[in-house]
Amino acid sequence: MAKATAFIDLHTDADKVWQLIGGFDALPDWLPFIPQSTLSEGGRGRTLKSVDGDTIIERLLDFNEAGCSYTILLGPAPMRDYQSTELPRRYRGASQRRATPSQARRQR
């Protein structure tokens, strides 16, 4: 099982970062690669459309003021059992957006 962690340091307040990226339906607001997001399952599911026309279906696993976790159910990438956690937090005077894709296995 592969595991990766990525960090992005932003020189702004963590609360402001979370206001922008924290909404499960907010990807089109800050990620140009995803111009369309449609919620389903009472807000626990989302269907994303990429600029390439790909469809990505995700399910929200956990959400609170500290972060969120979701899993990809369908997408163009050859993997399964993908889960990601995003945790914006203060770090060394700047905000840090931490994305931890875990339990991702490449499909064979």
Assess if residue 1 is contained within a domain: no
Q: What is the pLDDT of residues 16-52, one digit of tens each?
A: 888 888 888 999 998 899 999 999 999 999 999 999 9
Mean pLDDT value of segment 66-88: 82
The pLDDT value recorded for residue 61 is 92
Angle at 67 between CA 44 and CA 37, to 5 degrees: 40
Q: Which domain holds residue 49?
A: 6-106
For residue 89, the domain's CATH number is 3.30.530.20
Pairing of strands 94-102, 45-49: unpaired
Count of CB atoms situated within 10 Å of the CB of 36:
12
